[in-house]
Chains A and B, each alone.
Chain A
Amino acid sequence: QSVLTQPPSASGTPGQMVTMSCSGDSGNIGSNYVHWYQVVPRMAPKLIIYKNNQRPSGVPDRFSASKSGSSASLTISGLRSEDEADYYCAGWDDRLNGWFFGGGTKLTVL
């Protein structure tokens, strides 16, 4: 069982908005930043959100995220076919002294 919990799947049609969650506890998300990664098969993971809600340059503003307590969420608005990928949240755990990823959410654009 992952330290960070994500729903295994999400879906939406082009133009829609989709939100995916990431749940942890006081040792990880509750006391540290959350970051989000997009993984397309056979490609290197890509950072899309860092420090809870910051977008790296080049990431469209359709991607947004937030954190509240020990949970976080990633929202993609104006869904596009190229957004179809696996999305992972990640964070440092102070009690376990390590980094942890959620199990990943597979986003399907219908």
Chain B
Amino acid sequence: QVHLVESGGGVVQPGRSLRLSCVASGFTFKNFAMHWVRQAPGKGLEWVAVISSDGRSQYHADSVTGRFTISRDNSRNTVFLQMSSLRIEDAAVYFCARDASFLGTGGGFFEHWGQGAVVTVAS
């Protein structure tokens, strides 16, 4: 049974940094691409970033490029989202999601989701 548990959320001031983690279990982590998807209060789903199964390929949404970085540690079954220069509009629930493929691009999809981590950006 696939299990994804996010952590690292909290309250942070604008301009500061935060790192989210997502620990995976119930499947062979190194075989699947992983995503971060967020949902701001009262808003829709927004894809943030994807990393391939081997970590060699990453894509980020334009809204976070240059500020957020996705990475993974296959030895610890964990995917990370390093967030810097945080803005008010980055406040959201951040979901970790497992892709159905190893690349995480057009041939895959968001197959399993975690419960989310809440990030609040406020002064």
Contacts and interface: CB of A to CB of B under 8 A. Distances in A.
A51 B109 contact: yes
Contacts of B60: 98
A56 to B, nearest CB: 8
B109 A101 contact: no
A26 B61 CA distance: 20
B44 A99 contact: no
Nearest to B96: A44
Interface of B is mostly: strand
A44 B116 CA distance: 7
Interface residues of B, number: 26
Interface string B96-123: 0100100001110111111110000000
Interface of A: 2, 31-33, 35, 37, 39, 44-47, 50-51, 56, 86, 88, 90-92, 94, 96-104
19 contacts: A2-B44, A33-B107, A39-B45, A44-B114, A45-B45, A47-B112, A47-B113, A50-B109, A51-B109, A56-B111, A91-B106, A92-B105, A94-B106, A96-B62, A98-B59, A99-B50, A100-B47, A101-B44, A101-B45
